[in-house]
Structure 1
Amino acid sequence: MGANATDRRASLLVWGALAIVYVVWGSTYLGIGVAVESLPPMLSGAMRFTVAAVLLGGFLLLRHGKQAFRMSRREFLGAAVAGLLLLTLGNGMLAVAEQTISTGLAALLVASVPLWLVVFRFLVRDRPKALTLAGVLVGLGGVAALSLTGGQGASATGIVIVLLASVSWAIGSFLAGRIAMPANALATAAVEMLVGGIGLALLGTGLGERLDLAAVTPRSWVALVYLILVGSLVGFTAFSWLLGNAPISLVATYAYVNPAVAVALGALVLGETITSQIMIGGLIILVGVALVISTERKRPQRVAEGGEGAVEVGRGVGGGQEPQAPGDHVDAPLEERRV
């Protein structure tokens, strides 16, 4: 196979995987919204992530043996902490919020995660560029506008809860770049999902959630299966592959594509109303996120534990949906990568 054919195949694989992440992770907001119609939000998340963790862990054991899960106690605790922040708190609160606000509004508010990451960096005296700070101010202005005016017919409590979910997701992403994590990205995801799922089961039960199987609709069961197999496994596998085979600046574009997909699907499938306030506020948020990501990807990137800049921002824009793979990736041209 010639060099041109190889490059063309690599490009097609990258764009195919990116399309999966765009659509699949954008659709998980819809999946959560349908699942919580008749399933308890915390317990549905517990089922989703524990089953996905078992399936992913089983695949890794069959493919690579116990070697895939070789990690120190410190690395395991790091993945466990990330799982609690990202999934138990971040995803759990998102599911609770989607009981009272539209899936599109939730997705747009969760898009603020990269903005919170920059705020946290500023607090630890890592001074971002002026354009990065400008993007943060623009984006947070959009969050404020959307929270105050875009929630027509939505619960104010639900808006607050989804904002807290975004902050928890950002904290988990921020810490993941600064604490010891397992070397294998898929093993890390399995640990995060297992711990996060157990945390959701304990928290949901503690808050009084009970699973009434007779009350669960087929529609909610289908949504849950979709979230497990497609949202958690297919989407995350595509994302992990992209991190090793495509520039992080390209991968990070899903931060502002996922919300658009979520808004469109919410309108098409659930008949959610897209108000002018949602359109304007959401656009302001996405402009701020785009400015942050485009500015940060120009920073020198360090391949070291705790590296910051574009790598961290790119890794922390999961839209509150899936665990993010640890590790840093150099933003090399596509043709220099092995596929």
Structure 2
Amino acid sequence: MNASAGEVVPTSSAEAAPPWKIWSALWIVYIVWGSTYLAIALMVETIPPLLGAGARFMAVGLLLLPILAWRRGGHVWRPTRAELLSAGFVGLMLPGANAVISVAQQTVPSGLAALLVASIPLFVILLRRLTGESISWQSLVATLIGFGGLVLLLNPEGEATLIGLLACVFAAFMWALGSFSSPRISLPRDPLVSTAWQSLLGGIAVFTTGVLTGELPDVHFGEFSGRSIGGLLYLITFGSLLAFTSYAWLLQNAPISKVSTYAYVNPVVAIALGWLVLNESITPTTLLGAGIIVASVALVIRVESPKKP
């Protein structure tokens, strides 16, 4: 769950850049965004999830805004009221979704969480259909099949609880709603400025929620493990800054059908890292559900990508 506020399946193509640059950026997005689920699992071992997620996004906003103001002018600090409200809403949906995932990953394995979140493009198709947009029958069939795979995975095993699994699904819906809404509301035109404000406002909301729900007494800095601190720093630097910059560049320089492959590569990376680093089990049910969801998302992306003239 790491894309920008733009559409999950973007709808504009771009002139291709040199292949080595495209593949370098793609591999950053594949590996780094796929590994953020592992980083979240490490972070929540000793850091309260909502406070940790809130600190992550507030840090991103506070790092990006001064840099953008220095490079692009002081107007970065002066969004309109409509832009601020829109960025706040999307910030509640996208960073908020990451916060829900952080809470859920206290019981849900990182690979399984990534698989459930991979349903985001399916929810986007559902939202488009519910708002009256015409959807191809291939996309609708793929979406129904994908939700079948989702239901298959809602079977608590090991430490995973049904509440935790449903929280992952709800987080996927939140991300889809934020992505679906973002091109339809008055966000700042500059995507980096927009993301900075979304991160800052969403981070403040998540951090405040953590305080109000009683996480503050659980903060014991001396008990934060190196793994948890490392996970948080990784999420700030690599997950939110490096990978997002690479993704934003790809949207302007690579065919959209190739860029969109991150949506079904990330879960594979997350499952592999969870198995290698955290010894998470991979059951036959997980493999079957993974195959169904990844295949349906791949089909949706292929069908919805613009066709060459």
How high is the TM-score relative to the length of structure 1? 0.83
Alignment pair present for 1:52 and 2:60: yes
Does the CA-based 8 Å contact 1:69-1:184 persist in structure 2? no
Alpha-carbon separation, structure 1, partners of 2:37 and 2:54? 16
Counterpart selection for 1:37 from 42, 45, 52: 45
The aligned runs of 1:230-309 (5 Å cut-off) are: 230-298=238-306
Of 108, 119, 140, the match for 2:115: 108
SS in structure 1 of the partner of residue 18 of structure 2: helix
State yes or no: 1:127 paired with 2:127: no
- 1:198 to 2:204 alignment: yes
Q: Deviation of residue 69 (structure 1)?
A: 4.8
The Cα of 1:152 is off from its aligned counterpart by: 4.5
What is the rounded CA distance, in whole Å, between the counterparts of 1:185 and 1:24 in structure 2?
20
Deviations 1:91-132 (A, max 9, x none): 111000000010000000000010001111111111200000
Change (3 A) 1:8 1:248: closer
Q: Distance in 2 between matches of 1:28 and 1:190?
A: 19
**C-alpha offsets along residues 249-302 of structure 1, whole Å, 9 cap, x if unaligned?**
111110000000000011111111111111110110011101111001146xxx
**Unaligned regions of 5+ residues in structure 1, if any?**
1-6, 300-330, 333-339
Alignment of 1:88-237 (within 5 A): 88=96, 90-148=97-155, 151-210=157-216, 211-237=219-245
Report percent identity of matched pairs: 43
Deviation, structure 1 residue 223:
0.9
Find the aligned partners of 1:291 and 1:32 in 2 and give their Cα distance.
29
Contact 1:68 1:184 in 2 (8 A): no
Please report how far the alpha carbon of residue 68 of structure 1 lies from its aligned counterpart in structure 2 after TM superposition: 4.1
TM-score where L is the length of structure 2:
0.91
* 8 Å Cα contact 2:36-2:235 kept in structure 1: yes
Counterpart code for 1:167:
F
C-alpha separation in 2, matches of 1:167 and 1:131: 21
Tell me: higher relative CO, structure 1 or 2? Use CA pairs within 8 A at least 6 residues apart: 2
Q: Deviations over 1:210-256 (max 9, x none)?
A: 22212211111111111111111001111111111112211111000
Secondary structure of 2:34's partner?
helix
Change (3 A) 1:8 1:35: same
Corresponding residue for residue 3 of structure 2: none
User: How far did 1:57 drift?
Assistant: 1.3
Counterpart CA distance in 1 for 2:60 and 2:129 is 35
Structure 1 range deviating more: 128-137 or 215-224: 215-224
Separation in 1, partners of 2:77, 2:86: 14
8 Å contact kept, 1:138–1:287 = no
Q: Provide closer, same or farther for how the CA distance between residues 129 and 8 of structure 1 changes in structure 2, counting only shifts above 3 A.
A: closer
Aligned length: 293
**Separation in 1 of the partners of 2:303 and 2:78?**
37
* CA RMSD across the alignment: 1.7
Whole-angstrom distance in 2 between the partners of 1:222 and 1:170? 28
Offset at residue 70 of structure 1 (A): 5.4
| Cα distance in 1, alignment partners of residues 69 and 62 from structure 2 | 10
TM superposition shift of 1:63: 1.8
Distance 1:13 1:54 in 2: 29
1:45/1:197 contact within 8 Å kept: yes
